[in-house]
Structure 1
Amino acid sequence: MRYEGTVYRPPGEWRSYLLQVTVGCSHNGCTFCGMYKGKRFHTRPLADILEDIQMAKAQYGDVDRVFLCDGDAAALPMEELLTILKALYDAFPGLIKVTSYAGPRTILDKTPEQWRALRAAGLQRVYLGVETGNDALLRAIRKGVGAREMLEAGKRVREAGLDLWVMVILGLAGPGEASRRHILDTVDMMNEMKPRHLSALSLMLEEGTPLWRDWRAGRFTPVTARESLQEARLLIEGLDVMPLHFTCDHASNYLPLKGSLPAERENFLAAIDAALAGERGIRPEWSRGV
């Protein structure tokens, strides 16, 4: 298959055929993220994308899952997205799921009716990097939207009938009261946004990013492993979205947790408490990754 640059996908899409329809991220301004810094955002020619689908058909025969890359595939014009979805379902009789990342501004640039049309055409899941529910922190990390807009973006996807998968980042605000406010505001947003899936990752400072430079200059203090676990506990304790598939098992996390809420809440909290008490081991710093 043909790809431009490094292609990223959510961990859960490891079985999916990766179809690159855009290159890079349309926003590409977040202070903590270095994934797309080496790419200039652009859309691939539709003819090339359709050719890639036929190449995949010849190579794989049939696939049941497709993930549209790169960081903001939903930024494509509606007509092109609908054409690509139709081509995928025509090419692969066994296809049951097409998924994509989408940035909050991209989501808001499409109307609720357009999102319903994409769902009807076979786009089942959207991954949204919320990062935090705190308005001041969203602006500090240059996410491109504030809390009100982020909430509206998530609700727009969910209300269109798509499976909304949200990511948030533990440790993003640093320690102290900022940490607590970050998590409490995130809890409030999630309880109103009501995603079906929520993944909590832990901040990893990527060399060369603005946040990494702030850390090197003494302007940002990362949370400790203990503080990260306390954030995870506060998040899990406050979530009232039912049912919710919750994952905190990314390579960046200190303690792997995965299951459904509210069913697994007490087990999760007990595991965190055991780790905080030193009765359960956590991932050492050297083995954490993005």
Structure 2
Amino acid sequence: MMLNYDYPLYRPPSEARSLIFQVTLGCSFNECSFCDMYRSKEYSERPWDEVKLEIDMMAKQLPDTQRIFLADGDALNLDTEYMVKVVKYIKEKFQNLERISCYAMPMNILKKTPEELKRMHDAGLTMFYLGIESGSDVILKKVTKGAIAKTIIKAVNKAKDVGYTMSCMVILGLGGSKYSKEHIRGTAEVISACSPNYVGALTLYLENGIKDEFLTKFGEEFVPVSDEQALDELEDLISQIDVKDEVVFRANHGSNAYTIKGTFPQDKQDMLDKISWMKKHPEVIRPKGLRGF
């Protein structure tokens, strides 16, 4: 017997082989204009009896599970006591775990005290996935992110100080052609100021269900970047990121026209050299029919 998930169900690409427990349903914020992942759901927190039953069931079926992801999009919104209870019980039932992770909004990290974050980390929750999206406050407001650059930096550093592994996402093309330079400059500044352990670059992909809302909230004409402009953004982003700590960088998401990866700071020049090569070889582009957000 498998889990009876409340769909749609999402998880980061790196959690593809993870066991997923839905401790919350939907997203308590649910206002980001570029994201329609949870628009069909009303946010709720699942009761302990249901969560415990599922943990017990899967511990019997998949006792050697190594990674667990807590869904939906807002698990960190849970009360700290409840989260600690869930994580401790998971650790008790699965003896071979490498990590437990969840999505985290900047506002939810900032609402927790350092002591609360440490309690959850000590219990076994060790990794957060956080969307930076952009480092431009103008763009963050236009896409109703619910955060500004300063609070994103503060949230990432606050979690890192406690010991969390931080995996952050940015979105190429989020500001359109008009704000492209500002978008990349601000995004590079945010990454440089907080050095997430991992950074993934996606490309804006507006599905029909969210496109009208995005364009309306943007507040002015939005001209999407071309594939060539997206590659320019990627080049400028890599060029402007300045970190001393290692940051694993990936731009291999299915939404991207071009794929590149490396680790800052040591692979920075290699990545820039590869982009220069790709500009001379447009045949390596991923066909549009094979892309998706």
For the aligned pair, the TM-score class normalised by the smaller chain equals over 0.9
Change (3 A) 1:218 1:146: closer
Distance in 2 (CA, whole Å) between partners of 1:16 and 1:225 is 32
Task: Name the counterpart of 2:255.
Answer: 252
Deviations 1:74-109 (A, max 9, x none): 111011100011111110111120011011111111
Task: Name the counterpart of 2:274.
Answer: 271
User: Does residue 180 of structure 2 align to residue 182 of structure 1?
Assistant: no
Aligned length: 289
Distance in 2 (CA, whole Å) between partners of 1:63 and 1:32 is 33
Change (3 A) 1:168 1:211: farther
Please give the secondary structure, in 2, of the residue aligned with 1:208. Answer: helix
Pairwise CA distance, 1:113: 1.5
Distance in 1 (CA, whole Å) between partners of 2:247 and 2:102 is 20
User: Does residue 86 of structure 2 align to residue 60 of structure 1?
Assistant: no
User: Does residue 3 of structure 2 align to residue 25 of structure 1?
Assistant: no
User: Does residue 111 of structure 2 align to residue 105 of structure 1?
Assistant: no
Deviations 1:254-279 (A, max 9, x none): 11112212222222112211222335
Please give the secondary structure, in 2, of the residue aligned with 1:259. Answer: strand
Counterpart of 1:282, as a letter, is I
Distance in 2 (CA, whole Å) between partners of 1:208 and 1:6 is 14
Q: Structure 1 residues 129-138 or 202-211, which shifts more?
A: 202-211
Task: Name the counterpart of 1:207.
Answer: 208
Change (3 A) 1:260 1:280: farther
2:138 is aligned, of 114, 136, 155, to 136
Distance in 1 (CA, whole Å) between partners of 2:265 and 2:213 is 34
Task: Name the counterpart of 1:161.
Answer: 163
8 Å CA contact retained: 1:22, 1:43: yes
Pairwise CA distance, 1:206: 1.7
Distance in 2 (CA, whole Å) between partners of 1:270 and 1:21 is 44
Counterpart of 1:64, as a letter, is Q
The alignment's TM-score, normalised by the length of structure 1, stands at: 0.95
Counterpart of 1:268, as a letter, is M
Distance in 1 (CA, whole Å) between partners of 2:270 and 2:283 is 13
Pairwise CA distance, 1:123: 0.9
Pairwise CA distance, 1:53: 0.3
Task: Name the counterpart of 2:197.
Answer: 196
8 Å CA contact retained: 2:188, 2:241: yes
Deviations 1:152-174 (A, max 9, x none): 11111111110011100000000
Please give the secondary structure, in 1, of the residue aligned with 2:266. Answer: coil
Counterpart of 2:159, as a letter, is V
8 Å CA contact retained: 1:274, 1:280: no
Q: Structure 1 residues 276-285 or 92-101, which shifts more?
A: 276-285
**Seq. identity, %:** 36
Structure 1 gaps, min length 5: none
Structure 2 gaps, min length 5: none
8 Å CA contact retained: 1:211, 1:220: no
Pairwise CA distance, 1:11: 0.3
Change (3 A) 1:68 1:37: same
Question: Could you say what the CA RMSD is over the residues aligned between the two structures, in angstroms?
Answer: 1.8
Task: Name the counterpart of 1:45.
Answer: 47
Pairwise CA distance, 1:36: 0.7
User: Does residue 286 of structure 2 align to residue 283 of structure 1?
Assistant: yes
2:10 is aligned, of 8, 11, 16, to 8
Task: Name the counterpart of 1:82.
Answer: 84
8 Å CA contact retained: 1:271, 1:280: no
8 Å CA contact retained: 1:168, 1:201: yes
8 Å CA contact retained: 1:20, 1:69: yes
Change (3 A) 1:132 1:239: same
8 Å CA contact retained: 1:104, 1:145: yes
Distance in 2 (CA, whole Å) between partners of 1:117 and 1:15 is 26
Pairwise CA distance, 1:25: 1.0
User: Does residue 126 of structure 2 align to residue 124 of structure 1?
Assistant: yes
8 Å CA contact retained: 2:195, 2:246: no
8 Å CA contact retained: 1:23, 1:42: yes
